[in-house]
């Protein structure tokens, strides 16, 4: 079973996590035989976190309780507080995850933290623009590996800009291999376009009698 660690910090950008956490937690579109995943919120302390939307989150565990193995994934959302030194510990844990073959998925402001520690210097990645990384991460040296796309998957590293949450979610789900390929395609196209034909295509990929589309 995969353990998905979701790092939570003050001013967390709620919308960036919505697609991926709801689908992974509910399992509503998982393919037959797919193992459920365990989602755990993790933070630098046990203190309650307040998101950008004003929601409060009590972390499930601390950074040093995370286990870096191939069946682990670390999700790092955007926030306005990534420059706080207290978050350096989770970036070092991200380094450990990548070295162990575990997945690290970062979006928006979280990419600046990875860039600042050199974790994007030698791997294809994206963010809100190379200038964004240069502005907020003076030590950034990965310009030649920057890809101008909403989200970029490079093996066990998946990065995205703030407008790439949907594609980022798709790439994370694909990495975990918990959807059928046709389910994932229809799911993505429906949320990308809003066209009803993709909604119907999505329902047709599900087992007969399934009622998981709400």
Q: 40 with 3: CB under 8 angstroms?
A: yes
Token pair for 80: 């306005």
The yes-or-no answer on residue 162 being catalytic is no
Helices of type H across 107-208: 109-116, 130-136, 165-176, 181-193, 196-204
SS3 15: helix
Separation CA 195–CA 206 (nearest Å): 18
Contact present, 159 and 152 (Cβ < 8 Å): yes
Query: How far apart are the C-alpha atoms of 175 and 154, rounded to whole Å?
Result: 10
Catalytic-labelled residue, pool 61, 105, 108, 208: 108
Helix, strand or coil, per DSSP, at residue 126 = coil
* Cβ within 8 Å of residue 213, ≥6 positions away: 28, 199, 202, 203, 206
18 vs 136: CA distance, rounded Å: 25
The residues that are catalytic are 108
């Amino acid at each position: 079973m995969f353990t998905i660690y979701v790092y939570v910090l003050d001013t967390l950008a709620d919308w960036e996590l919505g697609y991926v956490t709801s689908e992974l937690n509910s399992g509503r579109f998982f393919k037959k035989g797919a193992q459920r995943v365990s989602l755990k919120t993790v933070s630098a302390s046990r203190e309650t976190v307040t998101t950008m939307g004003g929601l409060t989150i009590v972390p499930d565990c601390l950074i040093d309780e995370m286990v870096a193995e191939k069946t682990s994934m670390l999700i790092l959302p955007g926030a306005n507080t990534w420059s706080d030194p207290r978050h350096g510990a989770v970036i070092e844990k991200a380094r450990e995850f990548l070295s162990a073959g575990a997945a690290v998925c970062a979006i928006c402001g979280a990419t600046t933290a990875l860039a600042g520690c050199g974790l994007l210097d030698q791997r294809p990645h994206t963010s809100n623009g190379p200038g964004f990384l240069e502005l907020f991460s003076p030590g950034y040296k990965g310009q030649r590996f920057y890809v101008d796309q909403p989200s970029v998957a490079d093996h066990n590293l998946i990065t995205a800009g703030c407008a790439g949450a949907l594609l980022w979610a798709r790439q994370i789900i694909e990495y975990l291999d918990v959807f059928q390929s046709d389910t994932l395609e229809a799911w993505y196209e429906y949320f990308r376009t809003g066209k009803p034909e993709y909604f119907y295509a999505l329902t047709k990929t599900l087992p007969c009698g399934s009622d998981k589309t709400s």
